[in-house]
């Protein structure tokens, strides 16, 4: 086997949807690195919970392919994460309807690699094991790989470019969707293809992207009620992006398939809830904004729960 993976064989990516996933031995863990900026801001993504029809298949995927550790199991539920922190909770609902892209819900969960090299290593592993991709993109602020889990939930695996190189104009981040240089991303990296894959220390959810019925309603909720900043707005308002602490975005919201969507059906597979970490000192302000906005809230211990305009549970956990 050659010492580095030749991504000039890019045409081979076209067959990945039909290629089988191969099992092998575990990969070695990477050395710990400093936390990514995305998860150091006062408000950032904590975790997501997904309603799933096949718990065993989905657990295998998030463990062996995405690289999360199984942290706990109980009848009908699996919690997975990294460094002891829960990132994804899978909840068995075998009778659920299949998620419908025309409804409000999850567009993708975006898993953030600590380094660009980690992203390249994961791409090589995924390619060599026949993991099907749905796209690749250079967003100027980040480099991103796209795929779906076995039940169709969107996933992004990405690495941020250095924050010093991000461009802001009038408090709006400059992003884009350009062709990703796959060859450069994997240059000089070894052909490590073993499954189950183990994500490196520091692997986190950097952002979530939601399907919504109206991006103006999304702006009203995420800016006025939750206190995030609007960081980007596509000119036709088909997508809006929000963050805390001048990260490029912790939340995306689009109407690309879900324009005018109403309340999300309760018995549909996909997103159950999205949770944010928030500094305890910010909880009083959050509570006041939500009440002024007219949002119903429920509190339990360090967790405050509300609903977005489409009925999706949004949690804020004081950490």
What is the pTM for the complete model shown? 0.90
Residue 114 is part of which domain span?
Answer: 10-318
Residue 73, strand partner residues: 78
Does 209 reside within a domain? yes
Radius of gyration of the chain (CA): 19
Residues 72, 76, 80, 84: what is their CA dihedral angle, to the nearest 10 degrees? -30
Does 2 reside within a domain? no
DSSP string, the chain: --SS--TT-GGGGGGGGGSPPPP-PPPPPPPP-PPPGGGTSSEEEEEEEEEES-HHHHHHIIIIIS--EEEEEETTEEEEEETTEEEEEEEE-TTPBPP-TTSSEEEEEEEEPSSHHHHHHHHHHHHHTTPPP-EEEE-SSEEEEEEE-TT--EEEEEEEPPGGG--EETTEE----B---HHHHHTT------SS--PPTT-EEEEEEEE-S-HHHHHIIIIIIT-PEEEEE-TTSSEEEEESTT-S-SEEEE-TTTTT--SPPTTBSEEEEEEEEE-GGGHHHHHHHHHHHT---EEETTEEEEE-TTS-EEEEEE-
Does 215 reside within a domain? yes
Does 110 reside within a domain? yes
Q: What is the pLDDT along the chain (319 residues), one digit of tens a residue?
A: 233 334 333 333 333 333 333 333 333 444 556 789 999 999 999 999 999 999 999 999 999 999 999 999 999 999 999 999 999 999 999 999 999 999 999 999 999 999 999 999 999 999 999 999 999 999 999 999 999 999 999 999 999 999 999 999 999 999 999 999 999 999 999 998 889 999 999 999 999 999 999 999 999 999 999 999 999 999 899 999 999 999 999 999 999 999 999 999 999 999 999 999 999 999 999 999 999 999 999 999 999 999 999 999 999 999 9
Does 3 reside within a domain? no
Does 5 reside within a domain? no
Whole-number pLDDT of residue 192? 84
Does 141 reside within a domain? yes
Whole-number pLDDT of residue 35? 87
CATH number at residue 260: 3.10.180.10
Does 4 reside within a domain? no
Whole-number pLDDT of residue 34? 79
Any idea how long the chain is?
319
Domain count, the chain: 1
Whole-number pLDDT of residue 235? 86
Whole-number pLDDT of residue 32? 56
Whole-number pLDDT of residue 24? 35
Whole-number pLDDT of residue 287? 97
């Amino acid at each position: 086997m050659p010492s580095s993976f030749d991504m000039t064989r890019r045409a081979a990516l076209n067959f990945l949807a039909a290629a089988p996933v191969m099992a092998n031995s575990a990969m070695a863990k990477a050395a710990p690195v400093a936390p990514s900026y995305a998860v150091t801001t006062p408000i950032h993504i904590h975790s997501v919970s997904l309603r799933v029809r096949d718990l065993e298949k989905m657990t295998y995927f998030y463990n062996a392919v995405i690289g999360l550790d199984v942290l706990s199991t109980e009848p009908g539920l699996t919690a997975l994460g990294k460094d002891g922190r829960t990132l994804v909770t899978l909840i068995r609902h075998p009778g659920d309807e299949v998620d419908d892209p025309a409804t409000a819900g999850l567009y993708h969960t975006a898993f953030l690699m600590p380094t660009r090299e980690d992203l390249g290593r994961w791409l090589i592993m995924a390619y060599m094991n026949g993991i099907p991709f749905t796209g690749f993109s250079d967003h100027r602020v980040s480099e991103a790989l796209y795929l779906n889990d076995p039940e169709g939930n969107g996933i992004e695996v990405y690495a941020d470019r250095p924050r010093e190189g991000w461009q802001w104009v009038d408090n709006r981040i400059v992003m884009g969707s350009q062709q990703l240089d796959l060859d450069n991303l994997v240059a000089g990296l070894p052909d490590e293809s073993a499954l189950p894959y183990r994500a490196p220390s520091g692997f986190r959810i950097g952002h979530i992207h939601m399907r919504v019925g109206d991006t103006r309603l999304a702006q009203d909720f995420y800016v006025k009620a939750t206190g995030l900043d609007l960081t980007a707005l596509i000119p036709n308002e088909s997508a809006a992006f929000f963050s805390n602490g001048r990260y490029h975005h912790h939340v995306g919201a689009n109407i690309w398939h879900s324009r005018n969507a109403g309340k999300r059906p309760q018995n549909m597979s996909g997103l159950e809830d999205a949770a944010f970490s928030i500094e305890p000192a910010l909880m009083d302000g959050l509570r006041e904004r939500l009440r002024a906005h007219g949002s119903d809230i429920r509190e339990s211990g360090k967790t405050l729960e509300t609903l977005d305009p489409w009925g999706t549970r949004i949690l804020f956990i004081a950490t």
